Amino acid sequence: MISDNTKNNWYALRTIPHKERHVCTELNSRDYEYYLPLYKIYYDKNKYKEKILISYYVFVYLSEKDFEKIRFIPGSRGLLLYDFVPAIVKREEIEVLRLICGELDLEPEVNTLVPGEKVKILNGVLKGYTARVCECKSNKLGIEILENGFTIWINGKDLLYESVK
Protein backbone atom coordinates (compact mmCIF):
# COMPACT_ATOMS: atom_id res chain seq x y z
CA MET A 1 0.00 0.00 0.00
CA ILE A 2 1.45 3.34 -1.03
CA SER A 3 0.56 6.19 1.30
CA ASP A 4 0.13 9.82 0.33
CA ASN A 5 3.01 11.61 2.06
CA THR A 6 1.49 15.06 1.52
CA LYS A 7 -1.68 14.43 3.55
CA ASN A 8 -1.61 16.00 7.00
CA ASN A 9 -3.07 14.41 10.12
CA TRP A 10 -3.07 15.07 13.85
CA TYR A 11 -0.54 13.07 15.87
CA ALA A 12 0.28 12.92 19.58
CA LEU A 13 3.85 14.06 20.24
CA ARG A 14 5.26 12.73 23.53
CA THR A 15 7.25 15.15 25.65
CA ILE A 16 9.68 15.09 28.55
CA PRO A 17 7.81 15.80 31.84
CA HIS A 18 6.89 19.48 32.25
CA LYS A 19 8.33 20.46 28.84
CA GLU A 20 5.01 20.69 26.95
CA ARG A 21 5.10 24.50 26.65
CA HIS A 22 8.75 24.46 25.60
CA VAL A 23 7.93 21.95 22.84
CA CYS A 24 5.05 24.20 21.72
CA THR A 25 7.45 27.14 21.46
CA GLU A 26 9.79 25.04 19.32
CA LEU A 27 6.92 23.83 17.12
CA ASN A 28 5.73 27.40 16.67
CA SER A 29 9.22 28.59 15.69
CA ARG A 30 9.34 25.84 13.04
CA ASP A 31 5.86 26.75 11.69
CA TYR A 32 4.10 23.54 12.71
CA GLU A 33 0.45 23.63 13.68
CA TYR A 34 0.02 22.24 17.20
CA TYR A 35 -2.54 22.04 19.98
CA LEU A 36 -1.86 21.94 23.72
CA PRO A 37 -5.13 21.42 25.65
CA LEU A 38 -5.23 23.86 28.57
CA TYR A 39 -7.95 24.48 31.15
CA LYS A 40 -8.31 27.26 33.70
CA ILE A 41 -8.24 26.87 37.48
CA TYR A 42 -9.54 29.97 39.25
CA TYR A 43 -7.88 30.73 42.58
CA ASP A 44 -9.36 34.19 43.05
CA LYS A 45 -12.38 35.96 41.61
CA ASN A 46 -10.66 37.02 38.39
CA LYS A 47 -7.30 35.26 38.64
CA TYR A 48 -6.58 31.85 37.21
CA LYS A 49 -3.80 29.48 36.24
CA GLU A 50 -3.79 27.51 33.02
CA LYS A 51 -3.13 23.82 33.58
CA ILE A 52 -2.34 21.20 30.96
CA LEU A 53 -5.20 18.75 30.44
CA ILE A 54 -3.07 15.83 29.17
CA SER A 55 0.44 15.80 30.62
CA TYR A 56 3.42 14.75 28.51
CA TYR A 57 1.61 15.23 25.15
CA VAL A 58 1.27 17.93 22.51
CA PHE A 59 -0.89 17.34 19.45
CA VAL A 60 0.75 18.27 16.18
CA TYR A 61 -0.69 18.52 12.64
CA LEU A 62 1.81 17.27 10.08
CA SER A 63 2.46 14.95 7.16
CA GLU A 64 4.46 11.72 7.09
CA LYS A 65 7.43 13.47 5.48
CA ASP A 66 7.84 15.55 8.67
CA PHE A 67 8.15 12.54 11.01
CA GLU A 68 11.95 12.61 11.01
CA LYS A 69 12.15 16.38 11.55
CA ILE A 70 9.77 16.26 14.51
CA ARG A 71 11.88 13.64 16.34
CA PHE A 72 14.68 16.12 16.96
CA ILE A 73 12.67 18.88 18.61
CA PRO A 74 14.19 19.61 22.05
CA GLY A 75 11.96 18.30 24.83
CA SER A 76 10.13 15.77 22.66
CA ARG A 77 10.30 11.99 22.86
CA GLY A 78 8.81 11.20 19.46
CA LEU A 79 5.33 10.43 18.25
CA LEU A 80 2.95 8.10 20.05
CA LEU A 81 3.07 4.74 18.26
CA TYR A 82 0.49 2.02 17.72
CA ASP A 83 1.86 -1.21 16.20
CA PHE A 84 5.15 0.60 15.51
CA VAL A 85 3.34 3.23 13.38
CA PRO A 86 2.57 6.79 14.51
CA ALA A 87 -1.00 6.85 15.78
CA ILE A 88 -3.34 9.26 14.01
CA VAL A 89 -5.58 11.35 16.26
CA LYS A 90 -8.93 12.06 14.61
CA ARG A 91 -9.89 15.67 13.98
CA GLU A 92 -13.12 15.04 15.90
CA GLU A 93 -11.10 14.02 18.98
CA ILE A 94 -9.17 17.29 18.82
CA GLU A 95 -12.51 19.13 18.63
CA VAL A 96 -13.74 17.23 21.70
CA LEU A 97 -10.61 18.32 23.58
CA ARG A 98 -11.27 21.92 22.52
CA LEU A 99 -14.84 21.56 23.76
CA ILE A 100 -13.67 20.18 27.12
CA CYS A 101 -11.21 23.06 27.49
CA GLY A 102 -13.94 25.59 26.75
CA GLU A 103 -12.51 26.74 23.43
CA LEU A 104 -15.58 25.70 21.41
CA ASP A 105 -19.17 26.64 22.06
CA LEU A 106 -21.59 24.02 20.76
CA GLU A 107 -24.87 25.49 21.93
CA PRO A 108 -27.61 24.48 19.54
CA GLU A 109 -29.16 27.27 17.53
CA VAL A 110 -32.63 27.66 18.94
CA ASN A 111 -33.33 30.42 16.45
CA THR A 112 -33.31 27.85 13.64
CA LEU A 113 -36.71 26.69 14.86
CA VAL A 114 -39.61 28.65 13.45
CA PRO A 115 -42.99 29.07 15.18
CA GLY A 116 -45.40 26.59 13.65
CA GLU A 117 -42.69 24.03 12.84
CA LYS A 118 -43.43 20.44 13.91
CA VAL A 119 -40.68 18.49 15.67
CA LYS A 120 -40.28 15.04 17.19
CA ILE A 121 -38.56 15.20 20.59
CA LEU A 122 -35.62 12.79 20.90
CA ASN A 123 -34.58 13.17 24.54
CA GLY A 124 -35.82 13.79 28.06
CA VAL A 125 -39.20 13.15 29.61
CA LEU A 126 -40.97 14.14 26.39
CA LYS A 127 -38.98 11.72 24.23
CA GLY A 128 -41.08 10.35 21.39
CA TYR A 129 -43.72 13.09 21.52
CA THR A 130 -44.50 15.29 18.55
CA ALA A 131 -44.72 19.01 19.23
CA ARG A 132 -45.33 22.27 17.42
CA VAL A 133 -43.09 25.24 18.19
CA CYS A 134 -45.24 28.14 19.42
CA GLU A 135 -42.64 30.73 20.40
CA CYS A 136 -38.84 31.19 20.52
CA LYS A 137 -37.22 33.53 23.06
CA SER A 138 -33.41 33.41 23.31
CA ASN A 139 -32.83 29.84 24.59
CA LYS A 140 -36.40 29.18 25.73
CA LEU A 141 -38.95 27.46 23.54
CA GLY A 142 -42.69 27.41 23.87
CA ILE A 143 -43.92 24.11 22.44
CA GLU A 144 -47.36 22.55 22.17
CA ILE A 145 -47.43 18.78 22.64
CA LEU A 146 -49.71 17.60 19.83
CA GLU A 147 -50.76 14.34 21.50
CA ASN A 148 -52.45 16.06 24.45
CA GLY A 149 -52.54 19.78 23.59
CA PHE A 150 -50.39 21.01 26.51
CA THR A 151 -48.19 24.05 25.92
CA ILE A 152 -44.97 24.22 27.93
CA TRP A 153 -41.76 26.23 28.04
CA ILE A 154 -38.49 24.30 27.86
CA ASN A 155 -34.79 25.12 27.69
CA GLY A 156 -33.91 25.02 23.99
CA LYS A 157 -30.27 24.13 24.66
CA ASP A 158 -31.30 20.80 26.14
CA LEU A 159 -33.70 19.84 23.34
CA LEU A 160 -32.73 17.22 20.78
CA TYR A 161 -35.26 17.04 17.96
CA GLU A 162 -35.87 16.13 14.36
CA SER A 163 -38.19 17.97 12.02
CA VAL A 164 -41.49 16.30 11.13
CA LYS A 165 -43.48 17.07 7.98
* Rounded-to-integer distance, Cα 8 and Cα 63, Å: 4
Q: What is the mean pLDDT of residues 27-47?
A: 92
Mean pLDDT taken over the chain: 86
* pLDDT tens, position by position, 104-142: 765 545 457 788 889 888 888 888 889 898 888 777 888
* pLDDT tens, position by position, 49-82: 999 999 999 999 999 999 999 988 999 999 999 9
Q: Which residues contact 37 (CB under 8 A, 6 or more apart)?
A: 52, 53, 54, 59, 97, 98, 100, 101
pLDDT at 3: 45
Count of domains forming the chain: 2
The CA-to-CA distance between both ends of the chain, in Å, stands at 47
User: Which of the residue ranges 29-43, 53-67, 138-152 would you say has the lowest mean pLDDT?
Assistant: 138-152
Other C-beta atoms lying within 10 Å of the C-beta of residue 110: 17
pLDDT at 13: 97
* Rounded-to-integer distance, Cα 140 and Cα 120, Å: 17
pLDDT at 86: 95
Single residue among 79, 100, 121 that ends a domain in this structure: 100
> Does residue 3 fall inside a structural domain?
no
- The answer to whether the Cα torsion of 26, 49, 94, 15 is positive or negative is positive
How far is residue 6 from each of residues 3, 42, 61, 76, 95, measured CA to CA in Å? 9, 42, 12, 23, 22
pLDDT at 101: 87
* Rounded-to-integer distance, Cα 134 and Cα 92, Å: 35
Single residue among 69, 100, 131 that ends a domain in this structure: 100
Single residue among 100, 124, 153 that ends a domain in this structure: 100
Which range of residues forms the domain containing residue 45?
8-100
